[in-house]
């Protein structure tokens, strides 16, 4: 039952943690939009965009290596795609960075471009999740317009995610300890099917019990959370700073350099 | 620590802003419709069901099944199709949406702006297509023979998973960021996901077999009407399902591959490749990609390496080179071999099942 | 007969399950306000079913009156706000993202405003000794904490009758002791179903022995727990 890697950070306190969840969500969302709005060859223009995720991580007290590890763990699929592009796109492109001038084939630029954007995007998202408790984020999503049905389901999912994963791990361990790896294919498949089927039935029963618990506590309609989200002047300042920063990255920096 | 199971989620960076926006809008509309329908159909005690089922899918993904003859690889359940079969497509879509949001937020798997695409590719499409295939092939559920149910589930998985995966290259291509030709990307994604769909289909079939035995009412069967002997998945049922699935698969693969290039010639022109006349790579990158994924498989030795098509280098944006798509033959042979390998291993698996049921 | 007011009155309660089992066969009992009654019996005796019937979560025939309200589909909401039931498995009892939300769930549904619900929740959380954990999610809590949290979720509803189904199961010694102390200080009436005879001895003045859906005995604690032959007959002690 030791899965608290994100929650561990989210429970801490810092200036970033204290910001309203909606502000942080909007900031990261706009950041991501600006990030992908850059053309695929303008790799060097991406440089100043590294500031935001690093700053958020730093002020939230989250070690940067943690975010970098997230990037590495998630990269295989994207890397596979990205490494294909140098084979296809061989148009030479000029790259200038300060005093250096290179000519590189377009495919490599695209590969670098997508990789950098990916890394920055993941780090920004990590910064958001490590500085915001999930319950608050859920409330922010609700206030920003996510339908109540989905919010409720998200709440249940989050709540029972680790319970069910633990259950699955216990059952899987029981299966492994009884030599499942040595079994012939048919029995192995049947065992896997049985385990998942059992989990499913248990989940059905569990959800009925949860409903019973809700009903006996008088549930009639939509429950709403008591999580308070308060938009303060700090949040307004934060959003303004981020907006200016993003504008500078998108339109200022490319022109000035 | 749980290692997050990596699906092939769409990433922000492969999308352009307008496409991200468009897919988000489509996804929101689809989820809203599904939510309304699920709410209406669900009885009161099913209320927490969808969220908790989302947790179930996560948990079920932990149950791996090591593939025969391929040590180190394992099959997992994606979930969309199984959910649709068990709960109907509307509830499945809402559940998959919750799952994808959690994967995006808690595990950063899949970008914020790619949520629209992911919801469509891994939620809406597999649920709808899987459900449709399943019902189409099943006929009336209460009278469905075992083999028919297994076959329907298996094919539904393959169809649903592959259809969703096929959308990824389309979305990437329309966004114009990644410079891999659509047909190659499509070929790889479809090829890989046909195999993934097969594994997922196998697991789905096993789950349904179990539920048929233990809680037949869940599968739409009348529990009292089934004699005990019928309830056990017989060897015959398994074998027939496997063989038919394999045969159908090989047919589908080659059909798909050969119809690919004609419909998508325009994608070459649209991307404006460079005009350098470099020599063709010996190994098609698509094959390299497939090989990278199936590293433990013996190489597809009879695969026709890509020859220089009609004497022209790839990536030339002229109409001639587009029509010089060399793959129909290469892909068909790949298809044939894939089909054969798949069929053989399935028959092998079925034989094992026969031995174990005979012993039981 | 006596002029002690009755909080819970059950007459001729029958519960028949769809799979053919007769869970309860003609149960009658009465509980006074602030009275603590222990419910013992082997597994399958019908203890949980009895509690579910009081909460109108199973179909029953017979008469159940809670605080003057006859329990039925129409009066369900009113009756449920008088009783609070805690299941054996606390896991399914806590389903909101944070503890505060879970404990406030009941009051909010009872019609309290947000501020009042918050206050009631905070008070209940303090009463079970979990102050400071309001923002925690249930999967971060230990078994004992979860059990206490579940108790808080019904205490915040300011019920008059607590229905506790195996509250001490799977708790370590310290958590169990803490639970007993908490329950001991409560003013509510209590129906406590458990195998934990020492817990009953400590908390309850009266014990009902249930077996195969029937009440075998309904006597003061000392009398029943001292009747070893009776307990042996129904498989409760060696």
Instruction: Specify the pLDDT at position C44.
Output: 85
Q: What is the pLDDT of residues A174-183, one digit of tens each?
A: 777 776 666 6
* Average model confidence (pLDDT) across chain B: 66
**Residue at token pair 């509510």:** C188
CA A53 from chain centre, in angstroms, equals 13
pLDDT at B47: 66
Specify the pairing of strand C206-211 against strand C36-40. Answer: parallel
- Contact A75/B at CB under 8 A: no
pLDDT tens readout for residues C57-104 = 889 999 999 999 999 988 888 888 899 898 888 887 888 888 998 898
Per-residue confidence band for B38, with pLDDT thresholds at 50, 70 and 90: confident
Neighbour count for residue C140 (Cβ, 10 Å): 17
Structure token digits, residue A66: 């943690």
pLDDT, mean of residues C155-171: 91
Percent of chain B residues past pLDDT 90, beyond the cut: 8
Which residues are CB-contacts of C66 (< 8 A; sequence separation ≥ 6)? Answer: C7, C8, C54, C79, C82, C83, C161
The region of weakest confidence among A50-54, C88-92, C190-194, C200-204 is C88-92
Verify whether the Cβ–Cβ distance C97 to A209 is below 8 Å: no
Give me C202's structure tokens: 């400590």
Rounded to a whole number of angstroms, the distance from the CA of A60 to the nearest CA of chain C is 19
Asked if the Cβ–Cβ distance from C105 to A219 is below 8 Å, we say yes
pLDDT tens per residue across span C209-225: 999 999 999 999 999 98
Size of interface A-B (CB pairs under 8 A): 286
For residue B187, pLDDT beyond 70: yes
pLDDT digits (tens, 9 = 90+) for B55-111: 888 888 777 666 555 544 555 667 889 889 888 888 899 889 988 998 888 888 888
Higher pLDDT residue, C170 or B305? Answer: C170
- Select the residue of C98, C108, C135 nearest A223 (Cβ to Cβ): C108
Which residues in chain B (193-252) have CB-CB distances under 8 A to chain A?
A: 202-203, 205-211, 214-215, 218
Distance from CA of C213 to the nearest CA of A (A): 22
Q: Does residue C41 come out as left (phi exceeding 0), alpha (psi in the -120 to 50 range) or beta? A: left
- Taking the CA of residue A156 and the nearest CA in chain C, the distance in Å comes to 6
Q: What is the 3-state secondary structure (H, E, C) of C145-171?
A: HHHHHHHHHHHCCCCCEEEEECCCCCC
Option in C85, C114, C140 nearest A216 (CB): C85
Asked whether the beta carbons of residue A159 and residue C108 sit closer than 8 angstroms, the reply is no
Contact A200 B44 (CB under 8 A): no
- pLDDT tens-digit readout, C118-160: 999 999 999 999 999 988 888 788 888 999 999 999 999 999 9
In Å, how far is C85's CA from the nearest CA of chain A?
7
What domains can you pick out in chain C, each with its CATH number? 1-82+161-171+190-238 (3.40.50.300), 90-158 (no CATH)
Q: C11 and C63 in contact (C-beta within 8 Å)?
A: yes
Confidence of residue B256 (pLDDT cuts 50, 70, 90): very low
Distances (CA, A) of C46 to B268, B327, C215: 73, 70, 10
> Residues B189-248: pLDDT tens digits?
888 888 888 888 888 888 888 888 777 777 765 444 444 333 344 445 555 555 555 555
What does the pLDDT read at residue C162?
Answer: 95
Q: Is the pLDDT of residue B323 over 50?
A: no
The subunits that touch chain B, with at least 3 C-beta pairs less than 8 Å apart, are A
Higher pLDDT, C186 or B265: C186
Residues B218, B211 contacting (CB under 8 angstroms): yes
pLDDT at B129: 92
Residue B332 has pLDDT above 70, yes or no: no
pLDDT of residue B333: 43
Tell me what pLDDT residue B247 has: 54
| β C22-31/C8-16 pair status | antiparallel
Category of B16 on φ-ψ map: left (φ > 0), alpha (ψ -120 to 50) or beta? beta
Tell me the percentage of chain C whose pLDDT exceeds 70.
98
Write down the pLDDT at residue C236: 86
* pLDDT value for C70: 93
Question: Which regions of chain A are under pLDDT 70?
Answer: 1-6, 89-90, 93-101, 179-183, 221-224, 257
Question: Residue C135 is nearest to which of A133, A220, A223, comparing CB atoms?
Answer: A133
Model confidence, pTM: 0.73
Of A158, A217, A226, nearest to C100 by CB-CB distance is A226
Which chains sit next to C, with 3 or more Cβ pairs under 8 A? A
Q: Which residues pair with C8 in a beta bridge?
A: C31, C66
* Contacts with A207 from chain B: Cβ below 8 Å: 45-46, 48-49, 52-53
Average pLDDT over residues B18-47: 82
Task: For chain A, report the end-to-end CA distance as a whole number of angstroms.
Answer: 51
Cβ atoms of C11 and C190 closer than 8 Å:
no
Residue B254 has pLDDT above 50, yes or no: no
Token pair in block for residue A196: 């998942």
Of A56, A141, A207, A214, which to mutate for an interface test with B (greatest number of B Cβ within 10 Å)? A207
Spans of all domains in chain A: 5-132+230-256, 145-216
Residue ranges of alpha helices (H) inside C73-142 are 76-80, 99-110, 114-127
pLDDT, tens digit, for every residue of C4-58? 689 999 999 999 987 788 899 999 999 999 999 999 999 888 999 999 999 988 8
Tell me whether residue C5 is exposed, middle or buried, using C-beta atoms within 10 angstroms of its C-beta: 0 to 12, 13 to 18, 19 or more: exposed
Domain made up of B12-269+278-359: CATH architecture? Orthogonal Bundle (1.10)
pLDDT of residue B231: 39
Give the closest-approach CA distance of A210 to chain C in angstroms. Answer: 5
Phi/psi for C22 (5° steps) reads -95, 100
Shortest distance between the Cα of A247 and any Cα of chain C, in A, equals 36
pLDDT category of residue B299 using cuts at 50, 70 and 90: very low
Amino acid A239: pLDDT? 92
CB contact under 8 A, C109 and A1: no
Residue A149's Cα: distance from chain center in Å? 22
Backbone angles phi, psi at C20, to 5 degrees: 100, -5
* B12:A28 CB<8 A: no
**B81 touching A, CB under 8 A?**
no
- Among A155, A206, A209, the residue with its CB nearest the CB of C97 is A155
User: What does the pLDDT read at residue B303?
Assistant: 33
ipTM of the complex: 0.85
In the prediction, which pLDDT does A242 show? 92
Find out whether B102 and B53 touch, Cβ atoms under 8 Å: no
The domain limits of chain B are 12-269+278-359
Whether the pLDDT of residue C182 is over 70: the answer is yes
């Amino acid at each position: 039952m030791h899965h608290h890697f994100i929650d561990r950070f989210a429970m801490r306190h810092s200036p970033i943690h204290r910001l309203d969840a909606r502000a942080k969500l909007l900031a990261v969302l706009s950041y991501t939009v600006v990030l992908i709005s850059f053309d695929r060859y303008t790799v060097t223009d991406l440089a100043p965009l590294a500031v935001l995720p690093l700053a958020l991580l730093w002020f939230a007290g989250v070690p940067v290596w943690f975010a970098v590890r997230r990037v590495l763990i998630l990269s295989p699929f994207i890397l596979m795609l990205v490494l294909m592009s140098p084979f296809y796109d061989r148009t030479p492109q000029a790259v200038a960075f300060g005093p250096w001038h290179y000519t590189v084939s377009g495919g490599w630029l695209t590969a670098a471009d997508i990789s950098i954007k990916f890394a920055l995007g993941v780090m920004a998202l990590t910064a958001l999740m490590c500085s915001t408790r999930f319950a608050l984020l859920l409330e922010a999503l609700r206030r920003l317009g996510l339908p109540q049905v989905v919010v409720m389901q998200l709440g249940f999912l989050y709540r029972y995610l680790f319970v069910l994963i633990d259950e699955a791990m216990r059952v899987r361990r029981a299966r492994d300890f009884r030599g499942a790896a040595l079994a012939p294919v048919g029995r192995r498949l049947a065992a896997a099917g049985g385990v998942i089927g059992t989990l499913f039935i248990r989940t059905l029963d569990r959800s009925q019990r949860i409903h019973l618990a809700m009903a006996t506590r008088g549930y009639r309609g939509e429950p709403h959370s008591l999580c308070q989200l308060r938009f303060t002047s700090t949040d307004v300042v934060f959003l303004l700073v981020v907006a200016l920063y993003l504008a500078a990255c998108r339109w200022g920096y490319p022109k000035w350099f | 620590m749980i290692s997050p199971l990596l699906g092939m989620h769409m990433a922000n960076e492969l999308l352009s802003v307008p496409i991200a926006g468009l897919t988000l809008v489509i996804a929101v509309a689809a989820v809203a419709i599904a939510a309304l329908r699920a709410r209406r159909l669900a009885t009161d005690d099913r209320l927490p069901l969808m969220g908790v089922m989302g947790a179930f899918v996560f948990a079920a993904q932990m149950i791996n099944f090591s593939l025969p003859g391929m040590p180190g690889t394992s099959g997992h359940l994606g979930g969309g199709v199984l959910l649709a079969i068990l709960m109907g497509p509307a509830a499945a879509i809402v559940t998959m949406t919750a799952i994808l949001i959690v994967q995006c937020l808690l595990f950063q798997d899949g970008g914020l702006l790619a949520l629209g695409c992911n919801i469509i590719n891994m939620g809406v499409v597999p649920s709808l297509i899987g459900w449709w295939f399943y019902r189409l092939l099943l006929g009336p559920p209460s009278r469905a023979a075992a083999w028919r149910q297994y076959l329907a589930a298996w094919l539904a998985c393959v169809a649903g998973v592959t259809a969703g995966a096929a959308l990824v290259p389309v979305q990437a291509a329309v966004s114009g960021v990644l410079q891999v030709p659509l047909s190659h990307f499509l070929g790889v994604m479809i090829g890989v996901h046909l195999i993934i769909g097969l594994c997922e289909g196998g697991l789905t079939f096993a789950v349904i077999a179990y539920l048929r035995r233990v809680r037949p009412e869940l599968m739409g069967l009348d529990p009292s009407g089934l004699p005990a002997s019928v309830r056990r998945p017989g060897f015959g049922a398994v074998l027939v399902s496997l063989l038919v699935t394999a045969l159908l698969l090989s047919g589908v693969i080659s059909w798909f591959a050969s119809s690919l290039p004609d419909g998508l010639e325009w994608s070459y022109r649209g991307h404006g490749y460079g005009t350098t006349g470099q020599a063709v790579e010996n190994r098609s990158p698509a094959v390299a990609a497939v090989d990278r994924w199936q590293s433990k498989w013996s190489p597809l030795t009879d695969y026709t390496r890509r020859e220089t098509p009609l004497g022209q280098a790839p990536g030339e944006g002229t109409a001639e080179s587009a029509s010089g798509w060399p793959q129909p033959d290469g892909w068909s042979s790949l298809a044939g071999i894939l089909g054969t390998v798949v069929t053989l291993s399935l028959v092998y698996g079925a034989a094992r099942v026969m031995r174990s049921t005979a012993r039981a | 007969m006596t002029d002690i007011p009755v909080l819970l009155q059950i007459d001729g309660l029958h519960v028949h399950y769809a799979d053919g089992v007769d869970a309860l066969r003609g149960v009658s009992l009465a509980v006074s306000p602030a009275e603590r009654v222990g419910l013992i019996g082997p597994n399958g005796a019908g203890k949980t079913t009895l509690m579910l019937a009081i909460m109108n979560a199973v179909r029953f025939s017979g008469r159940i009156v809670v605080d003057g309200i006859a329990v039925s589909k129409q009066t369900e909401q009113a009756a449920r706000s008088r009783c609070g039931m805690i299941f054996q498995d606390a896991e399914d009892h806590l389903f909101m993202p944070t503890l505060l939300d879970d404990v406030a769930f009941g009051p909010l549904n009872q019609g309290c405003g947000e501020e009042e619900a918050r206050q009631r929740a905070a008070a209940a959380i303090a009463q079970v000794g979990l102050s400071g954990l309001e923002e925690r999610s249930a999967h971060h809590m230990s078994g004992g904490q979860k059990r206490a949290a579940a108790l808080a979720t019904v205490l915040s509803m300011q019920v008059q009758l607590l229905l506790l189904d195996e509250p001490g199961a799977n708790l370590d010694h310290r958590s169990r002791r803490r639970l007993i102390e908490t329950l001991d200080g409560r003013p509510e009436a209590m129906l406590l179903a458990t195998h934990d005879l020492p817990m009953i001895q400590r908390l309850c003045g009266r014990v009902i022995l249930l077996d195969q859906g029937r009440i075998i005995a309904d006597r003061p604690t000392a009398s029943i727990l001292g009747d070893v032959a009776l307990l042996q007959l129904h498989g409760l002690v060696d």
